[in-house]
Amino acid sequence: MITKFQRFIDRHRTWLFMLLLVIIIIPFVCMDYAGYGRAARGTGDGSGALVYGHKINARDLDHAKRRFKLRMQMNGKGIRPDERSEAWLAEQVLRNLALVEKAESMGITAADEEVVGDARRYFSDKNGQLNQAAYDRFIQEILPQRGLTEAGFEMLIREDIMLRKMMMLVASTAKVTPQQSSALVTEVTDKVTASACRFEFTDYTARVKPSEADLQGFYKQNMDRFRTPEQARVAYVVFPVDPTNIPQDDQAISDEELKAAYEARAELFRTSDGKSKPLKDVAELLRHDIRQQKAHDVANRRATDFTVKLIPEQGKPQLSFEELAKKEGVVVKETDFFNSNQLAPGIQVPSFTHAAFKLSEDNPISDVVPSESAVYVLKLLAKKPSGDSPFEQVRESVKSALVTSLALKLAREDGEKKREELENLLGTGKTFAQASAELKLKPQTFKNFSAMDSAPAKSEPFEGAVRQVSMKLSIGSVGKFIPTVTGGLFVYVSAREHAKFEDLVKVEPMISQMLVQREQQQVVRDFEKSVMDEAGLKFERPSSPLVIDE
């Protein structure tokens, strides 16, 4: 007979696979940290660093950075143009250069046909056919805007293939024993009851009374935190996504278009019983989506044509941004100054802000910036560099930051102390409830959960940490104090119930696969570290760049 547990596994196998990927493979890190890495033996931007004993000159590093940025952009990502992210970029580029050199030393290559095949996937339609027009525009317009050539793009693709081959070869050496698999199966299927004792900085702020001297000292030690950020002011034109702008020939929606849209969105129309809603029931919704897509294509083409006309052509008069806008019948608007951590005034589009701060005097015109309701083209008008803020101007911000910092320290110190006292009281024979009452703790209890369960929809933000830590604790034990961004916590496990044998057998293949992937990731991480050591690169703690969707 199929148990309720087995039916749950069958129904949610894919979801559980992804859940376990998060729980098992990605290391749990609750502690907050700041700062960004710097490349050893070089400047903050990585120039002058030694990789395998030879110096990376500024020209080669700049070209490598451009390739790396293009790789991110082709995957829909970008980084904000600030010091922290630029340092992260320099670190990643040096890592990449070292890994490519290692691949070459191992005799790993990428054949020309592999490079061509890999490049085609970026410019192919849904049927796998090469969109030659898209590729030609990419080579002739996009690459030059990013300071790259077709040869540079080919180098990017070749490096990617070589690194994939090397990492697959390294990952193939990962081994998992039956004992490891069995232990992990037990760990993720056990039903656990645990209690969490939290220490939040907000409970300690009333105790913090900083003096004026404290505020002045904190300000002087952390002036970078209170700097006025770089600001930009831009002009822009808007091409609205408006279905009424669709050419007359494209207004009608054919049955073939409707059917293709229905098939492409089939998963969205699947009901809870696994069946699909009939086409006739969703036809009107599809027509609306198709019209919106056509309207977006029209706006995007108009914006693209606008940017192309701004590219200088030898021997031809060049229209200014404003002159071209007037000729095209679009209005030029201007923003006030705003910084990279803000949305531009009146424009709730994060990619607009990102595009604005990519502009410079040498590259004052943006590519098209699409959004749900419009497509934008920007022109840089002015930038204000970041600078130190006078103390009186930021006094309240300084006070808030210092109070938070000192309260956070108090919360963590108290948490560490109470955890040790609780463990001592448990050692004298007192129950967890008795010890908690004596220490005036207010633990929060979570009952009968396992790594296979999803957290409740309205779960506490810290509940994931409690679940993760509890998996590895035995009954009656107290976990280590875990610092968090708001204070910290420790966990006590009061009960643990093993799953039935037949349930363990059911999930073991999936868990074993997860474990193999975890071991493969660890092998790859160890390999990358050994390559960095071999190449002579030393980095500080991994930085956290401000990566955004483009």
Backbone angles phi, psi at 369, to 5 degrees: -120, 95
Alpha helix (H) residue ranges in 439-500: 463-470
Mean pLDDT of the chain: 82
| Integer Cα distance of 458 and 489 in angstroms | 20
User: pLDDT by residue (tens digit) across 190-217?
Assistant: 889 999 999 999 999 999 999 999 999 9
| Integer Cα distance of 377 and 301 in angstroms | 12
With beta carbons less than 8 A apart as the criterion, state whether 303 and 379 touch: no
Residue 28 has pLDDT above 60, yes or no: no
- Give the pLDDT of residue 483: 93
Higher-pLDDT residue of 234, 87: 234
Place of tokens 């808030």: 400
- Confidence class for position 46, pLDDT limits 50, 70, 90: low
- Give the pLDDT of residue 126: 66
High-pLDDT (> 70) share of the chain, %: 85
Instruction: Tell me what the mean pLDDT of segment 237-246 comes to.
Output: 88
Residue 152 has pLDDT above 80, yes or no: yes
> Taking Cα atoms as reference points, which of 464, 456, 462, 468 lies closest to residue 489?
462
Residue 1 has pLDDT above 60, yes or no: no
- Give the pLDDT of residue 48: 63
Residue 364 has pLDDT above 80, yes or no: yes
- Give the pLDDT of residue 456: 67
- Give the pLDDT of residue 20: 46
Bridge partners of 374, per DSSP, are: 240
- Give the pLDDT of residue 135: 84
Which residues does 411 contact at the CB level (< 8 Å), separation at least 6? Answer: 199, 200, 201, 203, 204, 487, 488
Instruction: Tell me what the mean pLDDT of segment 457-481 comes to.
Output: 85
Instruction: Tell me what the mean pLDDT of segment 332-337 comes to.
Output: 94
- Give the pLDDT of residue 82: 65
- Give the pLDDT of residue 548: 46
> Taking Cα atoms as reference points, which of 543, 469, 380 lies closest to residue 46?
543
- Give the pLDDT of residue 340: 85
- Confidence class for position 455, pLDDT limits 50, 70, 90: low
Place of tokens 């693209």: 304
Residue 526 has pLDDT above 90, yes or no: yes
Q: Which domains does the chain carry?
A: 33-175+516-549 (1.10.4030), 191-225+394-497 (3.10.50), 231-384 (no CATH)
Residue 547 has pLDDT above 70, yes or no: no
- Give the pLDDT of residue 250: 64
Instruction: Tell me what the mean pLDDT of segment 144-172 comes to.
Output: 91
- Give the pLDDT of residue 461: 77
Residue 272 has pLDDT above 80, yes or no: no
User: pLDDT by residue (tens digit) across 370-411?
Assistant: 988 899 999 999 999 888 889 999 999 999 999 999 999 999
Higher-pLDDT residue of 298, 246: 298
- Give the pLDDT of residue 8: 45
Residue 477 has pLDDT above 70, yes or no: yes
**221-230, 263-272, 361-370: lowest mean pLDDT where?**
263-272
Instruction: Tell me what the mean pLDDT of segment 20-32 comes to.
Output: 40
- Give the pLDDT of residue 29: 35
| Integer Cα distance of 166 and 524 in angstroms | 10
